[in-house]
Amino acid sequence: MAYSFRIGHGYDVHRLVEGRRLIMGGVEIPFETGLLGHSDADVLVHAVCDALLGAAKLRDIGALFPDTDPQYENVDSIDKLLSRIVVLLKGLGYQIGNIDATVIAQAPKMSPYIDQMCRNIAKCCRIGEDCVSVKATTGEGLGFSGRGEGIAAHAVCLLYREDER
């Protein structure tokens, strides 16, 4: 039995603003500001979505869920976006091998919430928690994230499927 493997990378960034909730990996984090975006602006989940879509050569999250479409306004990114991508990938015969992601934020501290983020992503992707890694780092005071103006995330993933030979 032969398999083909695909690796994808995703990146997302959103500005921090007052009056919005801060959602990261499907977890609401108490903080004085939240991320601005059309959906819930969950940069971690958006980066994961783009990594998965890129690995399958299915463009990006904006192509599937445009920010001009009112049906995606304020939606839960895990339930409404990531879950649909997982179904799409399964339909194409792909399985998710693993996901590795990094959140870049000066504040708040992400470490108390990382285990739940991993559980949320793993459950939605129908993979084991041991197949999802989320890490967090600060901007060391540098750039937009270091100044507390926004939060960014990077994600990589491995997809595989059985070759049709």
Binding residues: 12-14, 38-39, 46, 60-62, 65-69, 137-140, 144, 147
Binding site residues for a divalent metal cation, as ranges? Answer: 12, 14, 46
Q: Give the Cα-Cα-Cα angle 120, 123, 127 (nearest 5 degrees).
A: 125
Query: What's the CA gap between 127 and 142, in Å, rounded?
Result: 35
Q: Tokens in use for 49?
A: 């979505």
Helix (H) or strand (E) holding 134, with range, is: strand 132-137
